[in-house]
Amino acid sequence: MRRFDCVVVGGGLAGLLAAYEANQAGKTVAIYEAGEHCGGAIASIKIAGFQVDAGAESFATTRPETLALIEELGLSELVVAPARSDARIYTEGQAFVIPHGMMGIPSDLTDAQTIAILGTDAAQLAVTLDSQPWNITEEQTLGDVVAKRLGAAVVEKIVNPIVSGVHASDSYLLEMESLLPGLLAKAEELGSLHQAVKLMRGSASRPGSAVAGINGGINLITRRLYALLKERGVQIFQQSPVSHASFNAVWTIETKTENVQADYLVIATNPVIARSILADFPDIASLLSQINPIDVALVLVAVKAPELSAQPLGSGVLVADQGGELIAKASTHVSAKWEWVKKLVGDLEIVRLSYGRNGIVESNDEHLLEFAQRDLSKLYGLANPEIMDSVVVRWPESLIQARVGHRDNLKKLDQTLTNHPGLMIVGSAVSGNGIAGVIGRTRTNMKGLLSV
Ligand SMILES: Cc1cc2nc3c(=O)[nH]c(=O)nc-3n(C[C@H](O)[C@H](O)[C@H](O)COP(=O)(O)OP(=O)(O)OC[C@H]3O[C@@H](n4cnc5c(N)ncnc54)[C@H](O)[C@@H]3O)c2cc1C
């Protein structure tokens, strides 16, 4: 039977990075990846003959982890700021520039953009509510807290479209502390939610200015990691899904063709798969079953339309629930947002539409393509678009819906893992959605694991 010091199950960003950390620590390492390619939600796809990002396409620069990894991988020179970062919110048939704030919570209630979206009455109500003595006691969801401090209109018209664009979920379902750690405590200290946002968001001018990308696509991060691991002798087995893990003095994993042993076992899959692999360990499996991953899908469209050259929605648009009039929850005007894409595609425009509000995605690709054509024309105001190519990319069970209790559950999971020496779980299941969080937590978890 094959044996390694460390076996990693799942070759997405977290799995690749976990293997990198174990290799740096001098361990023999193998990665078992179910798919044809490593990289997971960081991937590339060909549209109209051009290679662009098929999943994640930018990273937060408000945290240092991603830039630090990029530097270690020798990719710093390729980091680019978005050419445009002025996304819009589409609500009640109109597009508005997103006000400065965090996750849609405005930092300035008297700002013209905030008043334009909310209307004067709702904007005044927000001022009145947030001037009241601090009154948040039981509320834990982002939607509940914002509604109580700033009014329901702020949730529906600004927060929900943005949260849905990023996390594919309604803000009334999501735990505030998981999404915006520390904001509630700061707001309580200051006695004002929007003042806390102002303080924590700092002076960055626009919402999108806190992200960066990579010339050629952020899939270069996982591709470079993969190449580096290969160079260093890490064994990578693709199309090798792992179905089961057991422990008897050493860890044993089962693939379709073989059993493999290891001193350290790192699970870097989504929580549903992780639970099934770790079914022999009910203490862990039951905590994993509390973590809810949801589906999203993207439709990338290569299009010729004169209206798009004016970039009518800036870098893109986050769509408030329009009650069926529009199905997309968000859209990125990729060739407006990234100069490298524009240079690549010439007179074409690349737009991506994102589906899966609250994890509900049309299952038929043909229908999804029809929705995308209709949504594209409505959102961007196109009279007669010439669609040159379009492609559906599905990301099942790939975004974590951090419901109330999520953080407590993760704390219990951390504690329970200490009863299983040599076992670690990494990836968005435990870090939440976002590259910076995945990188930071994977590195911390691996240092903890390898120090034992
Ligand atoms: C459409 C989309 C857009 C996003 N956009 C952004 C963005 O712009 N910026 C940002 O910061 N974050 C973004 N995110 C989130 C970010 O991409 C993820 O949080 C991160 O990539 C997750 O990495 P991971 O390694 O935890 O999981 P994954 O990337 O899901 O990797 C898990 C891997 O496990 C493999 N696997 C599954 N089952 C098995 C098995 N049985 N055996 C072996 N292997 C298995 C899978 O094939 C996959 O390769 C986006 C996510 C999605 C889905």
Q: Is residue 84 part of a domain?
A: no
Q: What is the CATH number of the domain that holds 193?
A: 1.10.3110.10
Domain that holds residue 396: 44-61+293-400
pTM of the model as a whole: 0.95
Pocket lining: 129 vs ligand 1, CB cutoff 6 Å: no
Final residue of a structural domain among 144, 177, 205: 205
How many angstroms separate the alpha carbon of residue 42 from the centre of ligand 1? Answer: 6
Please report where in the chains the tokens 């504690």 appear, as a residue.
Answer: 415
Q: Are residues 22 and 158 in the same domain?
A: no
Residues in the chain where the model's pLDDT stays below 50 = 207-208
Taking CA atoms only, the protein residue closest to ligand 1 atom 34 is 10
Element (H, E) at 373: helix 365-380
Q: Residue 431, CB half-sphere, CA atoms under 13 Å: how many? A: 25
Q: Whose CA is nearest to atom 37 of ligand 1?
A: 269
**Position in ligand 1 atom list of the atom nearest CA 39:** 49
**Residue 76 domain flag:** no
Residues 112, 25, single domain; the answer is no
Check if 400 has its Cβ closer than 6 Å to any atom of ligand 1.
Answer: no
Q: What is the pLDDT of residue 321?
A: 85
What's the pLDDT at 322?
Answer: 76
Based on the fold, state whether residues 141 and 264 are members of the same structural domain. no
Domain identity same for 307 and 352: yes
| N-term to C-term CA, the chain | 25
pLDDT one-digit tens code per residue, 329-361: 999 999 999 999 999 999 999 999 999 998 999
> Which residue, by CA, sits nearest to atom 12 of ligand 1?
434
Res 209: pLDDT = 60
- How many CA atoms, within 13 angstroms, populate the side-chain half-sphere of residue 286? 5
Q: Are residues 156 and 193 in the same domain?
A: yes
Residue 194 contacts by C-beta under 8 Å, 6 or more apart in sequence?
101, 105, 106, 107, 108, 109, 126, 130, 149, 150
| Same-domain status, 155 and 111 | yes
Asked whether residue 139 falls in the same domain as residue 157, the answer is yes
Atom of ligand 1 nearest to the CA of 35: 47
Is residue 340 a part of any domain in this protein? yes
Answer whether residue 287 is part of any domain.
yes
> HEC profile for 289-323?
CCCEEEEEEEEEEEEECHHHHHCCCCCEEEECCCC
* Domain end residue (candidates: 205, 224, 251): 205
Residue 263 CA: distances (Å) to CA of 209, 247, 450: 43, 10, 10
Strand ranges, E, within 19-123: 29-32, 44-47, 50-53, 59-60, 79-80, 88-91, 94-97, 101-102, 105-106
Distance between CA 7 and CA 18 in Å, rounded? 10
Pick the closest to residue 95 from 336, 352, 317 (CA basis). 317
Same domain flag for 345 and 271: no
Of the residues 400, 419, 438, the one at which a domain ends: 400
Q: Is residue 28 part of a domain?
A: yes
Distance, in Å, from the CA atom of 442 to the CA atom of 452, rounded to the nearest integer, reads: 16
Tell me 17's DSSP state: H
3-class state of residue 360 by DSSP: coil
Q: Which two tokens stand for residue 192?
A: 């004002």
Report the number of distinct structural domains present in the chain: 3
Domain CATH for 263 = 3.50.50.60
Q: Report which of 57, 80, 98 is spatially closest to residue 317, judged by C-alpha positions.
A: 98
Judgement on whether residues 319 and 394 belong to the same structural domain of the protein: yes
Tell me if 34 CB under 6 Å of ligand 1.
yes
- Is 58 near ligand 1, meaning CB less than 6 Å away? yes
Q: Is the CB of 425 under 6 A from ligand 1?
A: no
Cβ of 14 below 6 Å from ligand 1: yes
Q: Is the CB of 55 under 6 A from ligand 1?
A: yes
In-domain check, residue 89 = no
Q: Is the CB of 59 under 6 A from ligand 1?
A: yes
Q: Is 293 in the pocket of ligand 1 (CB under 6 A)?
A: no
CATH number for position 312: 3.90.660.20
Is there a domain that residue 38 lies in? yes
The answer on 284 and 407 residing in a single domain is: yes
- Taken as a whole, the chain contains a residue count of 452
Nearest CA to ligand 1 atom 1: 55
CB 160 within 8 A of CB 170: yes
Residue nearest to ligand 1 atom 7, measured at CA? 56
Is residue 83 in a domain?
no
User: Could you tell me if 111 and 190 lie in one domain?
Assistant: yes
Tell me: do 242 and 108 sit in the same domain.
Answer: no
Decide if 89 contacts 96 (C-beta within 8 A): yes
Model pLDDT, residue 208: 47
Angle at CA 158, nearest 5°, toward 202 and 218?
A: 65
